[in-house]
Amino acid sequence: MQTPYYLIDKARLLPNLEKIAWLRENSGAKSLLALKCFATWSVFDLMSDYMDGTTSSSLYEVRLGKEKFAGETHAYSVAYADHEIAEVLEHSDKILFNSIGQLQKFADASEGHIRGLRVNPGVSTSEFDLADPARPFSRLGEHDPAEIAQVAEQISGLMFHNNCENDDFDRFDEMLALIEDRFGAVIHKMDWISLGGGIHFTGEGYPLDRLAARLKSFAQTYGVQVYLEPGEAAITGAATLEVTVLDTMHNGKNLAIVDSSIEAHMLDLIIYREPAKIAPNTGDHEWMICGKSCLAGDIFGEFRFAAPLKAGDRLSFQDAAGYTMVKKNWFNGVKMPSIAIRELDGTVRLVRDFDYDDFAAALS
């Protein structure tokens, strides 16, 4: 198959989904796929067997969830526009507003719909200011318990999203206790609570039993249905970006140029200044892997190999699903990676290829 392409491996996806299903069975919490992280709908048939639906951040994600993923469809947006609210409501089972202002603005339009409100508890686990929902002056959710209590009769649920890349159960437990202490009175008035995404509970060694017990206890204490919104937890390790070395150079270091671009195909690595992952990353030969765009810093990282790289060699970048495929772009007109799926029986099928017409159609 011609590179570059994203390869989603269902056999690597399945263990994550099985842990999600186990947690649902043992805690009572429902899990919704966060489409902002992963929206490749060709594997939604498998994922929907283990999850309860989708949650979104925009009108188009709401529609995708409704049309392609069985189960519930939760709508959320930092702000809804007047011209899109009717379509958002049409395609959602629940709608979450980011502010009391938006809740009141669309009160009539959403009358009779299941409504919720995002709450900002003021604490998070994010290590990056760029992604910290509890950063100073954050626009992400309401923060005053008294003001939220005043509109409690207009909603039936709340959403707290303050776990970011959190693989520490004790830290999750601590923050949930802070939420209970500050917002417990209004939580008692709700029917459902979303604790958002970012809880890396499918990771190796995570104490799933303790998480299940904590979620079950929380639900019983407040009489609510708990929702989780896993994104990366659902798809970590499930996909690679397959590339080919096009050229090699030496300029103080060994350089290999591949037929892909970090700027176009793994954008989060530039945003957060992190290297890509290659496994195994061992050997006597160290090479800097570079993208083919004209951006000087289009660098995947430095890795070790058993032998010198040469044109025609194939490389696989790991963890190429979450916040990667949804952010791909046409920078420099570099060919968009195709999308392929390895089925559970080992067969690989191409599900989408992109060409010049797709590039031209993205502009005008």
Ramachandran bin of 232, using left for φ above 0, alpha for ψ from -120 to 50, beta for the remaining angles:
alpha
Q: Pick from 129, 105, 124, 123: which is nearest to 115 by CA? A: 105
Q: Quote the pLDDT of residue 12.
A: 98
Contacts of 61 (CB under 8 A, 6+ apart): 35, 36, 39, 54
Q: Quote the pLDDT of residue 134.
A: 92
Give the angle 232-166-182 at the CA atoms, nearest 5°.
120
Q: Quote the pLDDT of residue 127.
A: 87
What is the torsion angle, in degrees rounded to the nearest 10, for the CA atoms of residue 247, residue 248, residue 251 and residue 254?
140
Cα→Cα distances 326→36, 129, 180, 214, 359, Å: 7, 21, 34, 32, 16
Give the pLDDT confidence of 325-348 residue by residue, as tens digits. Answer: 999 999 999 999 999 999 999 999
Average pLDDT, the chain: 97
48 HSE (CA, 13 A, CB side): 20
pTM here is 0.96
Give the pLDDT confidence of 85-141 residue by residue, as tens digits. Answer: 999 999 999 999 999 999 999 999 999 999 999 999 999 999 899 999 999 999 999
Kindly state the average pLDDT of the residues 21-42. 98
Kindly state the average pLDDT of the residues 141-160. 98
Q: What is the C-alpha separation between 243 and 258, in angstroms, rounded?
A: 6
Indicate if the pLDDT at residue 165 is higher than 90. Answer: no
Helix (H) or strand (E) holding 339: strand 338-342
Q: Which two tokens stand for residue 255?
A: 């350089």
Q: Which two tokens stand for residue 9?
A: 């491996």
Cα→Cα distances 283→85, 170, 230, 287, 310, Å: 55, 37, 36, 10, 15
Give the pLDDT confidence of 46-90 residue by residue, as tens digits. Answer: 999 999 999 999 999 999 999 999 999 999 999 999 999 999 999
Give the pLDDT confidence of 256-281 residue by residue, as tens digits. Answer: 999 999 999 999 999 999 999 999 99
Give the pLDDT confidence of 7-28 residue by residue, as tens digits. Answer: 999 999 999 999 999 999 999 9
Kindly state the average pLDDT of the residues 180-198. 98
Q: What is the C-alpha separation between 60 and 326, in angstroms, rounded?
A: 12
Within a 10 A sphere around the Cβ of 257, how many other Cβ atoms? 18
Q: Pick from 93, 68, 67: which is nearest to 76 by CA? A: 93
71 with 48: CB under 8 angstroms?
yes
192 with 227: CB under 8 angstroms?
yes
